[in-house]
Structure 1
């Protein structure tokens, strides 16, 4: 008789005496229908090389490994990695890397499928987008996913929303309740498809950072107050006064991504001429 995913997960945790740490974001998926949806959206092919960050005990790793050329699984918790290694003993196409995904270079991959540790959602997303890959099927905290696609003028609109507007196409695929995890987190989750677009330049990134440190202020004041994020050498007021004043009178959270890009491009030209 086939054991369901929730029972299988509890049995593995009991067998190895593993206590999950909520502080480290260790919440394991126990809803098999949601797991099947993730695998379906991943559109797994024989020649795929899949990157998985935070594989845990292999809830996704094992079914993925049976369908693709290779899985690269990066697990930070050494005890969990030991359990995963034992569960993978019949699979010779999984490269298990024990380490911090934020600190290591990723080997080649063409897709990523991950229930990401929520604590590193933002930095790991930007790191992933430094690489070339087809798409990712990724699980995020629902609140974070809503910030990823937030529109100008809304409460959730942020530097993240602006940067990702240019860097990736983001499609919400499914909402996953907290009851689908063990232990249940305090928030619901969202499954998204992340498809890379283009790399953004450093000035744009720094301009976003400077502006959104003061998102309710007028853009002019926000830039002057946090100009050190853009340049430590140029005089803030002297530079900012050369930018289209019509843009700078707007409050930061009402600026569209295109307007922020325009401000960034003007800043880049002005600074280069100084």
Structure 2
């Protein structure tokens, strides 16, 4: 346990006190740049996020946890590494005793997540997509660290090189923006790629779909053939989308949609086509 006030712990000292080196095989890269760490909660504050109960995925040695405790009312951190979980309980024993911090030991993709008002996390890159799409449907604002390439794809708009399935799927749940690029040097050990912070603001889409599960499965299918027209993409990917009669979809769909390629359609276009596919394509349950 340390008497240092929250928000003032030195990241390198936290790593030393944890007594454990990062395991890059487990996507462990510690964020140790004080300036970046200090800015991260600010992206939530400036967006007016409710910080009554912040969820952090992957606490590691606790540098971001420390900054979050200086800003949020309560923090729950999910940490899968038993040694880091034990370190967090010792390092932040005072905050735990004051009922301001809860440490959950386990895999963020498997544990029951608590009710939270926002999530602010430096995600393990290997599982970042799965974790993001566990959090996005919760309808809470997020500030998450990703690989820069992934972040750009999340935030991309129709017609851009980065636009794809990830862009449409993330935008189905929230407005997405890249708020900061983070260099390799901000981490120890340094990752091979540049990183970026993404901020999401939840909102309802301006279109309707027959169900999120089918919509996301339909997106996955047609984007596997993004260079083909939607006519061919729908016909060729029934084994992914689960459509029993893709030809019926092609016969009923608008020609403008069918002649376009996936990268040029708007989210509303995909929603219209997915809705039609669900109605006439005899999808699997």
> Deviation digits for residues 155-206 of structure 1, max 9, x if unmatched?
3221111122232111222111110111111111111211112376233212
> Deviation digits for residues 62-82 of structure 1, max 9, x if unmatched?
232244331110001111111
- Mapping for residues 126-165 of structure 1, pairs under 5 Å: 126-133=133-140, 135-165=141-171
The structural deviation recorded for 1:45 is 8.6
CA RMSD of aligned residues (A): 2.4
Task: Return the alpha-carbon distance in structure 2 between the equivalents of residues 46 and 238 of structure 1.
Answer: 47
Contact 1:29 1:59 in 2 (8 A): yes
Q: 2:195 aligns with which of 189, 192, 195?
A: 189
2:93 alignment partner in structure 1: 89
Is 1:109 matched up with 2:116?
yes
TM-score between the two structures when normalised by the length of structure 1: 0.88
Task: Return the alpha-carbon distance in structure 1 between the equivalents of residues 62 and 234 of structure 2.
Answer: 46
2:258 alignment partner in structure 1: 248
The secondary structure found in structure 2 opposite 1:143 is: helix
The structural deviation recorded for 1:46 is 9.3
Task: Return the alpha-carbon distance in structure 1 between the equivalents of residues 51 and 36 of structure 2.
Answer: 24
Task: Return the alpha-carbon distance in structure 2 between the equivalents of residues 17 and 174 of structure 1.
Answer: 30
The secondary structure found in structure 2 opposite 1:129 is: helix
Task: Return the alpha-carbon distance in structure 2 between the equivalents of residues 9 and 29 of structure 1.
Answer: 8
The structural deviation recorded for 1:16 is 4.5
Q: How many correspondences in the alignment? A: 267
The secondary structure found in structure 2 opposite 1:145 is: helix
1:222 alignment partner in structure 2: 233
> Deviation digits for residues 201-244 of structure 1, max 9, x if unmatched?
23321210110111111111111111133335x22223332222
Task: Return the alpha-carbon distance in structure 2 between the equivalents of residues 10 and 164 of structure 1.
Answer: 34
Task: Decide which moves more: 179-188 or 160-169.
Answer: 160-169
CA pair 16-175 structure 1, distance change in 2 beyond 3 A: closer
Which aligned runs of 4 or more in structure 1 are off by greater than 4 angstroms?
44-47
The structural deviation recorded for 1:154 is 3.0
The structural deviation recorded for 1:50 is 0.5
Q: 1:231 aligns with which of 242, 245, 249?
A: 242
Contact 2:56 2:77 in 1 (8 A): yes
The structural deviation recorded for 1:47 is 6.4
Contact 1:46 1:67 in 2 (8 A): no
- Mapping for residues 1-274 of structure 1, pairs under 5 Å: 8-43=10-45, 48-92=52-96, 93-133=100-140, 135-198=141-204, 201=211, 202-231=213-242, 234-271=244-281
The secondary structure found in structure 2 opposite 1:163 is: helix
TM-score between the two structures when normalised by the length of structure 2: 0.85
Runs (5+) with no aligned partner, structure 2: none
Contact 1:110 1:132 in 2 (8 A): no
Task: Return the alpha-carbon distance in structure 1 between the equivalents of residues 15 and 115 of structure 2.
Answer: 31
